[in-house]
Amino acid sequence: MIDTPDGRYFVLKGRLWRRTNPALDEPTRQRWVDALMDARRAVKAAKASGDTQQLKQAREQVQRAKVALGERGPVWWTDGSPDFNRYNVVNTPYADWFDKHSDTNPQ
């Protein structure tokens, strides 16, 4: 895993993933991380039980936590740069940077 120079994303398996909003204070960030982990466990339980309504609700909880953390939804930076969350890094403006750094930072 490697972070982009601007700190907006990390690269995992060639894909950009948006980082948590660094402006969140630690107690708020931790509360949402805990909620995200609970929601992910709920997704797992719902899949195991086959309860589609429970699965839908659990996935909504994951989405809510990810948005609150800044990992999905509106971007947390204010310079007007576009969002490349979940893009293949080679198809973004980070491609040249990644090409120069990917050999020294295996994923």
105 pLDDT more than 80: no
Q: pLDDT (tens digit, 9 = 90+) per residue, 43-81?
A: 999 999 999 999 999 999 999 999 999 999 999 999 999
Sign of CA dihedral 86, 88, 93, 95: positive
pLDDT, mean of residues 13-29: 98
pLDDT, mean of residues 28-36: 99
Cα separation, 85 vs 39, in Å, equals 21
User: What φ, ψ does residue 2 adopt, rounded to 5°?
Assistant: -140, 140
> What pTM was computed for the model?
0.88
